[in-house]
């Protein structure tokens, strides 16, 4: 039963759900702070399952090692990994081999432990060098955002304007990483006052619920005492709020900052200028 549950296979206990994450969630809810030993046992149980080393593997990586195997071998592997992993591998097979594999899975009865172990050991040995390699992610949108953050504004605008013609979605993604809500605290006081005029108090109340104390204080220092007191009261009145709602409003404030910058009404400090204004 526990093996079926960890593999995400149907059972009388849980007909439509399973997997290690679900099991961990249930254990944590049931045992709270005392869940550590049981979670460790669950992890060990998973690793002891046939082809346990594939349960968290990237299906595309596994596919590269199975693509040339006999359909019967592939069927055996897919029968012992979580459905999501099996589906990912199946999707990458040619149509003819997909049918051959599915037919063998459907007709598969009991398989000797020796045969399973033989295939598992062979596949594990073939993948061991690949799985143990340490890969370092390079490039990507975050890298572009970091580069543009320290470029001069003319270079930044030229690049983003050029990208916007063919890749507007990419430009939006880059912009979201270039300037985040906490960066509002890096603006000069006069620019913060400009932003304050363009953002409603109710939005500030929600946005600042998830902000650092330093940013909250800086925003309120640029308000009148009465306005700051009203903002604090509104923040307290909100009580607990969903993080997703806070982040959505914070993004609206960031969009206002970008709009004001594009209109020439404020300027974000460069990396050098940020160094000069560290308090």
DSSP result, 27-64: HHHHHGGGGHHHHHHHHHHHHHSTTGGGTTS-HHHHHH
Same domain (yes/no): 106, 41: yes
Cα-based torsion angle of the residue sequence 175, 178, 180, 183 in order, rounded to the nearest 10 degrees: -140
Instruction: Determine the Cα–Cα distance for residues 7 and 80; give it in Å rounded to an integer.
Output: 8
How large a percentage of the chain has pLDDT more than 90?
19
What's 103's domain CATH number?
A: 1.10.220.30
**Who wins on pLDDT, 277 or 266?**
266
Cα-based torsion angle of the residue sequence 173, 178, 180, 185 in order, rounded to the nearest 10 degrees: -160
Supply the mean pLDDT for the chain: 77
Q: What is the extent of the structural domain holding 98?
A: 2-132
230 pLDDT band, cuts 50/70/90, is very high
Reported as a single tens digit per residue, the pLDDT across 93-142 is 998 889 998 988 888 877 677 777 788 778 777 777 665 554 455 578 88
Does residue 220 have a pLDDT over 90?
yes
Same domain (yes/no): 74, 145: no
Same domain (yes/no): 6, 116: yes
| Res 28: pLDDT | 59
Reported as a single tens digit per residue, the pLDDT across 33-54 is 665 655 565 555 544 566 776 7
Does residue 263 have a pLDDT over 70?
yes
Whole-Å CA distances, 18 to 57, 134, 138, 236, 248: 17, 30, 34, 40, 32
Same domain (yes/no): 24, 125: yes
Same domain (yes/no): 67, 56: yes
Confidence (pTM): 0.44
Same domain (yes/no): 38, 122: yes
Reported as a single tens digit per residue, the pLDDT across 15-34 is 344 444 555 565 556 656 66
Reported as a single tens digit per residue, the pLDDT across 150-172 is 777 678 788 888 888 888 888 88
Same domain (yes/no): 88, 165: no
């Amino acid at each position: 039963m526990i093996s079926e549950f960890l593999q995400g296979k149907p059972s009388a206990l849980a007909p439509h759900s399973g997997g290690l994450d679900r099991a961990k969630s249930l254990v944590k809810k049931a045992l709270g702070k005392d869940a550590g030993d049981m979670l460790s046992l669950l992890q060990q149980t998973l690793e002891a399952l046939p082809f346990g080393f594939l349960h968290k593997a990237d299906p595309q990586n596994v596919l590269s090692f199975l693509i040339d195997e006999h359909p019967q071998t592939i069927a055996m592997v897919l029968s012992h990994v979580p459905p999501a992993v099996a589906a990912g591998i199946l999707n990458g097979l040619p149509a003819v081999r997909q049918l051959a594999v599915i037919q063998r899975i459907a007709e598969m009865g009991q398989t000797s432990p020796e045969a399973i172990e033989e295939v598992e050991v062979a596949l594990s040995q073939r993948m061991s060098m690949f799985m143990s390699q340490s890969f370092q992610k390079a490039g990507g949108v975050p890298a572009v955002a970091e580069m543009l953050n320290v470029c001069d504004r003319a270079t930044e605008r030229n690049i983003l304007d050029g990208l916007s013609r063919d890749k507007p979605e990419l430009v939006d993604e880059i912009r979201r990483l270039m300037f985040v809500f906490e960066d509002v605290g890096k603006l000069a006081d006069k620019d913060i006052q400009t932003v304050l005029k363009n953002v409603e108090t109710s939005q500030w109340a929600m946005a600042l619920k998830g902000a650092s104390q330093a940013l909250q204080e800086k925003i309120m220092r640029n308000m009148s005492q009465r306005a700051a007191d009203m903002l604090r009261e509104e923040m307290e009145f909100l009580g607990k709020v969903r993080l997703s709602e806070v982040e959505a409003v914070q993004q609206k404030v960031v969009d206002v900052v970008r709009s004001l910058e594009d209109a020439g009404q404020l300027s974000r400090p460069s990396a050098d200028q940020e160094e000069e204004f560290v308090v």
